[in-house]
Amino acid sequence: MKQSSDILLIDKPAGWTSFDVVAKIRGKIRADYTKQGIKPTKKQLRVGHAGTLDPFATGLLIILLGDACKQAGDFLKLDKTYEFTARLGQVSTTGDPEGEITDVSGVVPSQAAVEAVLQQFNGGIEQTPPAYSAIKIGGKRAYKLAREGKKVDIPPRTVTIYSLKSVTYEYPLLKCVCEVSSGTYIRSLVEDIGTALGTSAYCIKLRRTRVGGYSIDNATNIDKTK
């Protein structure tokens, strides 16, 4: 892998953490230098990412190399576009397929009801991030506290939903595409949609397709990076 103070656009596969991708790329950089008989410096091995994707999620992950890591904060502020599939009638302890799934309701919302509810979420909304998130509570990651069985109290925040549209709906699955501000948690959005529909929901699929002006169309598979 040729390294420069630049960025890489990676299409993260499901099952990988964002750190897994960082570690894979750092390993490739180290291997390239080793082949040349060079011991890489810490700066040459500096790799970061600009916005975490949950392990079950796929899509655009911006990888920063070298001095570009200093720009991480700027990337985190960018708006994003996601495609997601919600499973109605059930809840998950984590808001995604990795949690404990429980049947909650047999209510079957109509297409008209779905469209009306989605419209309610356009604009600025109050959202409570999920307990299983990387937000720090008292200096410790919320997901670590949740895994320890401790109560996680995360204050709500204001986020902006610029656009939220259904793509397909065939109960119990609702597929949507949304454009959102930074700081928006799609898992929380899905749960709130389920509640507004008089039922429940969790996110079974999530794909990020845009971060600011960067598109998934220009991303590469992690195994094809050079």
- Give per-residue pLDDT as tens, 128-175: 877 666 666 666 666 666 566 666 677 788 999 999 999 999 999 999
**Scanning the structure block, which residue is given the tokens 């230098």?**
33
Write out pLDDT tens, residues 11-43.
999 999 999 999 999 999 999 999 999 998 888
Write out pLDDT tens, residues 181-201.
999 999 999 999 999 999 999
| Residues annotated as catalytic (active site), given as ranges | 54
Write out pLDDT tens, residues 47-70.
999 988 999 999 999 999 988 888
Written as six digits, the tokens of 178 are: 């949304």
Asked if residue 197 belongs to a domain, the reply is: yes
Secondary structure (DSSP) of 9-68: EEEEPTT--HHHHHHHHHHHHHHHHHHTT----TTTT-EEESS---TT-EEEEEEEEGGG
Same domain for 130 and 18, yes or no, is no
Asked if residue 63 belongs to a domain, the reply is: yes
Asked if residue 2 belongs to a domain, the reply is: no
- pLDDT tier, 83 (very low <50, low <70, confident <90, very high otherwise): very high
What is the reported pLDDT for 225? 60
- pLDDT tier, 4 (very low <50, low <70, confident <90, very high otherwise): very low
Same domain for 157 and 93, yes or no, is yes
What is the reported pLDDT for 173? 98
What is the reported pLDDT for 217? 97
What is the reported pLDDT for 3? 43
Residue type (1 letter), 138: G
State the total domains in the chain: 2
Same domain for 200 and 96, yes or no, is yes
Same domain for 102 and 39, yes or no, is no
Same domain for 54 and 112, yes or no, is no
Q: How confident is the prediction for the chain on average, in pLDDT?
A: 89
What is the reported pLDDT for 2? 44
Instruction: Output phi, psi for 198, to 5 deg.
Output: 80, 20
Same domain for 124 and 189, yes or no, is yes
Instruction: Output phi, psi for 85, to 5 deg.
Output: -120, 125
Same domain for 162 and 132, yes or no, is yes
List 140's β-bridge partners, or say none. 137
For residues 41 and 36, what is the distance between their CA atoms, to the nearest angstrom?
Answer: 14
Written as six digits, the tokens of 75 are: 């990337």
Same domain for 192 and 96, yes or no, is yes
Secondary structure (DSSP) of 125-180: EEEPPPSSSS-EETTEEHHHHHHTT-------EEEEEEEEEEEEEETTEEEEEEEE
- pLDDT tier, 223 (very low <50, low <70, confident <90, very high otherwise): confident
For residue 42, what are the domain limits? 7-78+212-224
Same domain for 131 and 65, yes or no, is no
Q: In which element (H, E) is residue 210 found? A: strand 201-211
Same domain for 123 and 183, yes or no, is yes
Check whether 1 has a pLDDT greater than 50.
no
Instruction: Output phi, psi for 192, to 5 deg.
Output: -70, -35
pTM (2 d.p.): 0.89
156 vs 99, more confident = 99
> What is the pLDDT averaged over residues 90-114?
95
b/e per residue 15-25 (b: at least 16 CB within 10 A): ebebeebbebb
Q: What is the CATH number for 197?
A: 3.30.2350.10
